[in-house]
Structure 1
Amino acid sequence: MAKQQVKINWLENMAFSAEVNGHKIILDATENVGGENRGPRPKPLMLTALAGCTGMDVVSILKKMRVDVDGFNVYVEGDLTEEHPKQFTQMHVIYEFKGKNLPVEKIQKAVTLSEERYCGVSAMYRKAIGLTSEIRIIEN
C-alpha cells in the first residue's frame, strides 16, 4: 500500500504553511476568528481536491478518446452543517464543457469513468456523503 504524507507548520495566529508535492500552500482563517486571510481554509480545499481529481481524469480520458474541447471547468458545491463539527453532508459536481458539436456520449462516458472508477477522492467522499453531478455543454 502506498503512503502519502503532508506536514503543516504553524506560522502565527491561525496561519499554517503546508508543503504538498513540493509546492507551498498557506492555510489561514478569516479575521473574525483570529486569522489574517492569508490563504484558503481547509474545508474548501476538500472541494478543490474533488474538482482537481475528477477534472484531471476527465481530461485524460477525453484525450484518449480523441475528443477536443475548447474549454473545461469543474465546479464543486458543498453543503455544510450548521452545528459543530461543521462538515459536508452533500457535494455537487458541475462539469462544464465548451466547444462546437461536442460528442455528448463520449463526454458522459468520461465523466462516469472518473466518478465510478478512477477518482479516488470521489470514491472516498462517496462513502461518507452524498455526491451528485451534472454536465453542462456550452456551444461556441
Structure 2
Amino acid sequence: MEFKMKEVGFQTTVEYGELHIAGDEEYGFRPYQLMVSSIAVCSGGVLRKILAKKRIEIEDLTIQTKVDRNEQEANRIEKIYIHYLIKGANLDERKIEQSIEIARKNCPMVQSVKDSIEIAETFELVL
C-alpha cells in the first residue's frame, strides 16, 4: 500500500476504492477507528466462517464496540470491547461461546495485537 499526503491526512487507493485517513474526522477515517474496525470485523468474519462450518445457521450478526484509551500514553488503545448480537433460531449458547473462542485464536488482527491491546468479547442471542 502507498499513502499520499493530502493537505490534512493521507490517502490511498485500494481495490475497493479510495481510503482517506486523518486525525480529524472531517477529512477521513481516524487511525484508531480503522484499527478497531479491523479487529472487530476480522473477528466477526472469522466467527461467521466457524459458525457456517459447524452448520450453525444465524440470521444476522451485529458487532458493537467500545474502546478504552490511555490519554497519558499517547492516547493509545488499551482495551477493545467487542459485543456480538447474534440473531437466529435455536442457538446453543455454549456452542456460540466455543465458536467465539476459536475465532479469537484464528483472527489475524486479534493475534497481531494480543500482547498490546486487551480484547474482551461478549455476546447475546437475539430472537
TM, length-normalised to structure 2: 0.89
Counterpart in 2 of 1:10?
Answer: 5
Amino acid in the other structure paired with 2:118 = G
Counterpart in 2 of 1:24?
Answer: 18
- Unaligned 5+ segments in structure 1 are 1-5, 31-35
- Contact 1:50/1:76 (<8 A) preserved: no
Relative distance call for 1:84 and 1:105 in structure 2 (3 A) is closer
Q: CA deviation at 1:22?
A: 5.0
Counterpart in 1 of 2:114?
Answer: 126
Deviations 1:98-135 (A, max 9, x none): 1222122221121110112x111111222112221111
- Unaligned 5+ segments in structure 2 are none
Deviates more, 1:20-29 or 1:123-132: 20-29
Percent identity reads 21
Q: Give the Cα separation in 2 of the matches to 1:60 and 1:21.
A: 23
- Once the two structures are superposed, the pairs formed by residues 3-82 of structure 1 within 5 Å of their partners are 6-12=1-7, 14-30=8-24, 37-82=26-71
- Contact 1:79/1:91 (<8 A) preserved: yes
- Contact 1:65/1:106 (<8 A) preserved: no
Q: Give the Cα separation in 1 of the matches to 2:3 and 2:58.
A: 37
Q: Give the Cα separation in 2 of the matches to 1:96 and 1:53.
A: 16
Deviations 1:2-44 (A, max 9, x none): xxxx2211121x23112345532111233xxxxx713210111
**The structure with more radius of gyration:** 1
Q: Give the Cα separation in 1 of the matches to 2:23 and 2:84.
A: 29
TM, length-normalised to structure 1: 0.81
Amino acid in the other structure paired with 2:119 = L
- Contact 1:9/1:18 (<8 A) preserved: yes
Q: CA deviation at 1:84?
A: 4.9
